[in-house]
Amino acid sequence: MPPSTTPLSRYQRQMLFFGLGEAGQRKLLDSIVVIIGCGATGTVLANHLARAGVGRLRLVDRDFVEMTNLQRQLLFDEADVTAGLPKAIAAERRLRQVNSEIEIEGVVADFNAGNALELLGDADLALDGSDNFEARYLLNDACLKLGLPWVYTGVVASYGMTATFVPDGAAGKVGRAVTGCLQCLLGAQPSADGATCDTVGVLGPVVSVLASITAGEAMKLLTGGGDLNSGLIHFDIWDNSFAQFQTAGRKSDCPACGQHDYRFLNAESGSRSAILCGRNAVQVSGNPTPPDFARLAERLAPLGEINHNAYLLRAMIDGYEITLFPDGRAIIKGTENPDLARSLYARYIGS
């Protein structure tokens, strides 16, 4: 059912709020939002926006559901782990049960320089549900180039932060003032040694708090109402501290929004390998030709335990867990050595 003809009765309590009303609800229904990453923050964001009636959600994630995700990634359950589902597919299935009257598209892909503009090109808003700053800096570049507003959310341990960005080309569309960008806020280079959920852990409730603030920013951007976060919000659930810092704003010498040097977007797309921090795993980008899972499973069967479904193939061989996706990517657990990971990929999957 097209968003413009979707019944509004299910959103009655939301529309009673003076800042939204029927006009705001119809704007939500006519909107397209892309969420990059469908883990802890991404699932909370997607859950809120699906229930709020955003007309089309695109969920982009490269990974699959594991048991350790269930403590904080609210759209998944043990059945998804057993079925070996990619996060984007499991989230899409769950959200279709939540709201069958909107469009939900799960995209199993690595967000990279080669596909960023295509994934974001028709969107009204992008939201950060990723778990690394390489993806965030790329998202920043792509949104600047497209004139697309986006919201950053980062959570680790017991604390998190969120910031809202409105680039030049988006200001007129959303009726908001132009802001600085992620590079203005955090510098020109992603941190290489920052804490991650895989190294210092994370508490589920703080994820929900920060992602909920971001979802509220999304609703304000899409409807044109309310006051946006004009700086950086920081919240720590363990010491019960909440602060909103005013930032310096847009910097004229910023390489990204000031000089339009989109080096993350212009980087070589689809690097051959990337270490997945804290997981003892490496992602390897292989042949983009869709693999024949059934044929490959038959070939690998004598070497170890092989399972596959429509979304991935998983092989346990020589102490390594190799998970292969339809786009040719593989996540290889049991090593943080990119050379070894590429060698294992070539040996068992093919170059």
- pLDDT at residue 13, as a whole number: 97
Note whether 150 and 291 are same-domain residues.
Answer: no
Cα torsion through 54, 60, 64, 67, rounded to 10: -40
Note whether 155 and 56 are same-domain residues.
Answer: yes
Buried b (16+ CB within 10 A) or exposed e, 297-316: beebeeeeebebeebbbbbb
Highest-pLDDT range among 262-276, 285-299, 308-322, 337-351? 308-322
Asked whether the predicted pLDDT for residue 188 surpasses 90, the reply is no
Asked whether the predicted pLDDT for residue 6 surpasses 60, the reply is no
Rounded CA gap, 119 and 128, in Å? 13
Asked whether the predicted pLDDT for residue 191 surpasses 70, the reply is no
Q: Does some domain include residue 329?
A: yes
Angle at 54 between CA 95 and CA 111, to 5 degrees: 70
Q: Does some domain include residue 67?
A: yes
Average pLDDT over every residue of 226-235: 96
197 in catalytic set:
yes
Q: Does some domain include residue 218?
A: yes
- pLDDT at residue 272, as a whole number: 60
Q: Per residue in 44-68, pLDDT tens?
A: 999 999 999 999 999 999 999 999 9
Q: Per residue in 255-267, pLDDT tens?
A: 999 999 999 999 8
Total residue count of the chain as it appears in this document: 351
Q: Per residue in 20-52, pLDDT tens?
A: 999 999 999 999 999 999 999 999 999 999 999
- pLDDT at residue 206, as a whole number: 97
**Residue 315's pLDDT band (cuts 50, 70, 90):** very high
CATH code where residue 92 lies: 3.40.50.720
Q: Does some domain include residue 259?
A: no
Q: Name the more confident of 226 and 4.
A: 226
Note whether 55 and 202 are same-domain residues.
Answer: yes
Q: Which two tokens stand for residue 238?
A: 């363990």
Note whether 163 and 50 are same-domain residues.
Answer: yes
Provide the domain limits for residue 221. Answer: 3-245
CATH code where residue 297 lies: 3.30.310
Note whether 44 and 91 are same-domain residues.
Answer: yes
Q: Name the more confident of 199 and 250.
A: 250
- pLDDT at residue 198, as a whole number: 66
- pLDDT at residue 278, as a whole number: 63
Note whether 112 and 148 are same-domain residues.
Answer: yes
Note whether 239 and 334 are same-domain residues.
Answer: no
Q: Does some domain include residue 291?
A: yes
Note whether 107 and 40 are same-domain residues.
Answer: yes
Average pLDDT, rounded, for the chain? 91
The three-state (H, E, C) secondary structure of the chain, written as one string: CCHHHCCCHHHHHHHCCCCCHHHHHHHHHCCEEEEECCCHHHHHHHHHHHHHCCCEEEEEECCECCHHHCCCCCCCCHHHHHHCCEHHHHHHHHHHHHCCCCEEEEEECCCCCCCHHHHHCCCCEEEECCCCHHHHHHHHHHHHHHCCCEEEEEEEECEEEEEEECCHHHHHHHCCCCCCCHHHHHCCCCCCCCCCHHHHCECHHHHHHHHHHHHHHHHHHHHCCCCCCCCEEEEECCCCEEEEECCCCCCCCCCCCCCCCCCCCCCCCCCCEEEECCCCEEEECCCCCCCCHHHHHHHHHHHCEEEECCCCEEEEECCEEEEECCCCCEEEECCCCHHHHHHHHHHHCCC
Q: Per residue in 207-225, pLDDT tens?
A: 999 999 999 999 999 999 9
Q: Does some domain include residue 172?
A: yes
Q: Are 20 and 112 in contact (CB under 8 A)?
A: no
Active-site residue among 181, 197, 254, 257?
197
Burial class (CB in 10 A: 0-12, 13-18, 19+), 59: buried
Q: Does some domain include residue 202?
A: yes
Asked whether the predicted pLDDT for residue 12 surpasses 80, the reply is yes
- Give this prediction's pTM: 0.88
Q: Does some domain include residue 254?
A: no
Average pLDDT over every residue of 167-184: 91
Note whether 216 and 323 are same-domain residues.
Answer: no
- pLDDT at residue 271, as a whole number: 47
Note whether 213 and 277 are same-domain residues.
Answer: no
- pLDDT at residue 94, as a whole number: 98
Note whether 161 and 301 are same-domain residues.
Answer: no
Note whether 28 and 128 are same-domain residues.
Answer: yes
**Residue 1's pLDDT band (cuts 50, 70, 90):** very low
- pLDDT at residue 273, as a whole number: 65
Number of structural domains found in the chain = 2
Q: Per residue in 140-166, pLDDT tens?
A: 999 999 999 999 999 999 999 999 999
